[in-house]
Amino acid sequence: MDIDLIELLGDDLTQPETRLPASPVRVSPSDSTATPEHPQRLSGTHIHESELADLLGITANRIRTLARDGVIKRSGPARYELRSTIRDYCSHLREHAARAGRPSESNADLKAERLRLTRAQAEAQETKNRQLSGELIGADTVSREWQSILRDVRAAVLAVPSRFGAAMPHLSASDIAALDAEIRTVLEGLADGNA
């Protein structure tokens, strides 16, 4: 028996790219009363899952998956009611196409996160390149250098009273001690963050 798919699915298949070729489909013995002059309505027509898969152009495994997911309903073991199954499957395809056509909120979030990750990776690579070229120095290296410089400055400043006393012999030992105490007070204030 040949099944008129346009009658089954409606006028949506009138576009050439969506028209399915008519192919013979075997129906269950209970539908054998149909004749070529009076084709039986497809309501109540049952079809095996392998024939349904061939009709829809998908695998029998996909038919079983659709049934397990509740998209289509079995009428018996590996059997499906043709009209309702095709309607359910087409409805599922329309819903899927509608969802695919509009970006979801999570899709926009995912794109934003990917963009953020890409930017972070680009910045990290740029930093690495600048380090390799000598434009950037690691913070620990800079810290060690500054500690060394500040130790040298501290030692030089603490040496000022003795050098000053040697250069100015008229100053008393108490004057040199007062100068030394003032310098140490200033250095301790700088070390404590009190400029």
Write the pLDDT tens digit of every residue in 35-84.
444 445 555 688 999 999 999 999 999 999 999 999 999 998 989 999 99
Same domain flag for 10 and 94: yes
Domain coverage including residue 186: 137-195
pLDDT, position 17 = 44
pLDDT band at 107 (very low <50, low <70, confident <90, very high): confident
Same domain? For 71 and 10 the reply is: yes
The residues facing 47 across adjacent strands are 80
| 24 & 59 share domain | yes
Burial class (CB in 10 A: 0-12, 13-18, 19+), 72: buried
In terms of domains, do 86 and 115 share one? no
How many structural domains does the chain have? 3
The mean per-residue pLDDT over the stretch 7-17 comes to 49
46 and 17 inside one domain: yes
Q: Which residue has the higher pLDDT, 41 or 115?
A: 115
Say if residue 85 is in the same domain as residue 113: no
Say if residue 131 is in the same domain as residue 154.
no
